[in-house]
Structure 1
Amino acid sequence: MQQIKGLTGLLVALVFIVAATPSQAQLFGRKNDDSAVRITQLEERIRTLTGQIEQLSYQMRELQDQMRRMQEDNEYRFQQLEGGGGTPGKRSEATPGSTAPGASAPGLAADGTPLSEPLVTPGGGFATLPSDGSGDADWSDTGGYQGGDGPVDLSNLANGLENLPGAGESQVPDQTLSTEEDSIAGIIASGDPRTDYDEAYSHAVNGDYAAAEQGFRTFLENYPDDELAANAQYWLGESLLSQQNYREAADAFLKTYTDHPGSKKSPDSLLKLGVSLRGLGEGQAACATFSELLNKYPNAAPAVLTQARDERRRAQCT
């Protein structure tokens, strides 16, 4: 009897064990299902985060591109401010007959295509100048044209300028020139190169180009060996170019380049030499000058390189 009871109890226990087995299997299966769901959710989350990271990376690249473009634009604007593209507020009483020989109209080349605006911003006050007053740094002594396609013979170019129509003739009437000289003579008398340079430069910035021209001429006469001489020679060219006196402007820019080969103004001087040559109708020489600038100074300021390329297109250089 006891054996029967024991067997009965054993059977009951077996029944409970068998009955419990599916439940345990279901429990473990549920855990596996939960893990799979969680893994799927994690994978989905990772994909979402990856997409967000890629989107942020794209936005960062876009911002970097925008910042680069803004920087280049600002450099160009600063170049224009120092040197200037704006509508001149005053032309220093320039007369209608002061257009340079070979130019069909003010601001036009001899072929009728527009020249770039002169790099002087009138009415804007002083541009920011370096504390040392030079705006230049000593580069390696690599004067003259080196490398590039179609190099310009500077000596021949200088001789050619002397033989152009109107060579040696001032574009400012004698009476006006005398008046400006008298006014500048009373201003530039400090004996301090920096003060006199700033005084002349202020005339250029304010659009008084004839006064600026005389100021820089006087500066160069008084301080030919000063560290600001290269800048003064360059701005003399800008002042002449702003008056459409292309021949004397070309001569001034050529002198800046040849007399101050280590100056940072060298690329700018080549650029404006080309612009002046275009104004004189010397398209071939202008194109060669722009090419020399782009080949010799590939690391020049972006604004200068951009304008040189634009000038080449305007001049229809091949």
Structure 2
Amino acid sequence: MESARRPAAAPLFPFQCMAMMTVRPLRPAALVLVAALAAASVPFEAAQAQADNNFFGNLFKPPGQVRAGNQPAQVEEADSIVTRIDRLENQLRQMTGQIEQLQFRNQQLEQQLRLLQGDTGAAPAAAGETARRPDVFDPSAQAGAPGAPRPLGATAPSGAPMDLGTLSGAAAGGGAQPATSPKEMFDLAFGALQRQDYAAAGQTFEQFVKLYPTDRATPDAYYWLGESQYLRKSYKEAAQNFLKVSTDYPNAVKAPDALLRLGQSLAAIGEKDAACATLNAVGNKYPRASATVKQGVEREQKRAGC
């Protein structure tokens, strides 16, 4: 009866039910698992953030600068530039060494020619020198013979033919008159050279360079003096005059020809190394030399075996 008298129990609200629920303690294994998951989430989030940064950072980079491992393209390009610079530096060092060797060889050549100049006219003829033929006219050996060189202003010997082309301002029936100007003397010597009177031409050119050392035609006079000696096979004397043109008048019109003739003269006296060095210097010193000079250099290099 009493139970029937008791009022009905009020319904329980949800939060009251949750409060009345029994909370079971977690097992140790579950605790370990939860801690491991929490620790693993930290580096994953950091890596994800870094990946996002890399993605957006690479997204706004110019094309060609995105590489694996975030290595910029400039590194590869810089390596390529450094390699090319090293190669150019090696080539420059090699060229510098070749130029220094050529300069040293030219200095040796000048010293050898100075020594040869000291022996000119004093040393006896070499044993291997070609003997003179008795049937060939030699103006230097036959001073009184017709056609032999004579001092300027001297008359021809009695009965000898007179070369009217060598006279300058001679009066009819009178003797030859000496040249009165540098031009007349130069023309006189050059005329003898054209007539293949090399001894007379050489003598006149030699007087010209002594009398007119500062004349504008002096470089040409030295060259033609050497040419007259070269054609008479006086190679040592010729080499001295060709060297004079090359060293003292390097900008003269005949300077490339003189350097070529210098190489030929050295080859003729057996100085092969010096001759080859001189012939090689023609193209280096005078790259705009005439085609005739360049062809002569190639021909002489083959002949000398350079």
Q: TM-score normalized by structure 1?
A: 0.49
Counterpart mapping for 1:73-84 below 5 A: none
How many residues were matched structurally? 172
Contact 2:153 2:178 in 1 (8 A): yes
Q: Say if 1:160 and 1:173 are closer, same or farther in 2 by CA, change over 3 A.
A: farther
2:140–2:199 Cα contact (<8 Å) kept: no
Q: Which runs of 5+ in 1 are unaligned?
A: 1-145
- Taking the aligned partners of 1:229 and 1:245, their CA distance within structure 2 comes to 21
- The residue matched to 2:150 in structure 1 has which SS? helix
Shift of 1:181: 5.3
Which one of 109, 120, 131 corresponds to residue 157 of structure 1?
109
1:296: how far off?
A: 1.8
**2:139·2:199 contact (CA, 8 Å) conserved in 1?**
no
* TM-score, structure 2 as length reference: 0.50
Deviates more, 1:210-219 or 1:163-172: 163-172
Q: 1:283 to 1:259 in 2, by over 3 A?
A: same
Range with bigger deviation, 283-292 or 293-302: 293-302
| Whole-angstrom distance in 2 between the partners of 1:245 and 1:151 | 27
Residues 1:272 and 1:185: Cα distance change in structure 2 (over 3 Å): farther
- For residues 123-168 of structure 1, the C-alpha deviation after alignment (integer angstroms, 9 at most, x for no partner) is xxxxxxxxxxxxxxxxxxxxxxx95973465554233124349921
- The CA deviation at 1:307 is 0.6
Q: Which residue in the other structure is 1:302 paired with? A: 291
The change in CA–CA distance for 1:286 and 1:189 in structure 2 (over 3 A counts) is same
Q: Give the one of 162, 181, 186 matched to 1:197.
A: 186
Aligned-residue identity in percent: 37
Gaps of 5+ in 2: 1-97, 126-137, 155-166, 168-176
Amino acid at match of 1:293: V
Query: Does residue 1:182 correspond to 2:166, yes or no?
Result: no
Equivalent residues of 1:278, 1:315 under 8 A apart: yes
Describe the superposition over 1:210-253 as per-residue Cα deviations: whole angstroms up to 9, x where unpaired. Answer: 11100100111111110100000000000000000000000010
Q: CA deviation at 1:189?
A: 2.3
1:261 aligns with 2:244: no
User: Is 2:195 the partner of 1:227?
Assistant: no
The equivalent residue for 2:49 is none
Q: Distance in 2 between matches of 1:220 and 1:240?
A: 15
- For 2:187 and 2:100, how far apart are their aligned partners in 1? 36
Matches within 5 A, 1:164-175: 164=116, 167-169=119-121
Of 266-275 and 148-157, the range deviating more from structure 2: 148-157
Counterpart amino acid of 1:260? Y
Distance 1:165 1:265 in 2: 22
- Counterpart of 1:150 in 2: which secondary structure? helix
Deviation >4 Å, runs of 4+? 146-149, 152-155, 170-181
Q: Does 1:250 align with 2:239?
A: yes
**TM-align CA RMSD:** 2.9
Tell me which amino acid in the other structure corresponds to 2:270. Answer: G
Return 148-157 or 290-299, whichever deviates more. Answer: 148-157
What is the correspondence of 1:127-166 to structure 2 with a 5 Å cutoff? Answer: 147=99, 150-151=102-103, 153-164=105-116
Indicate if the aligned counterparts of 2:106 and 2:277 stay in contact, CA closer than 8 A: no
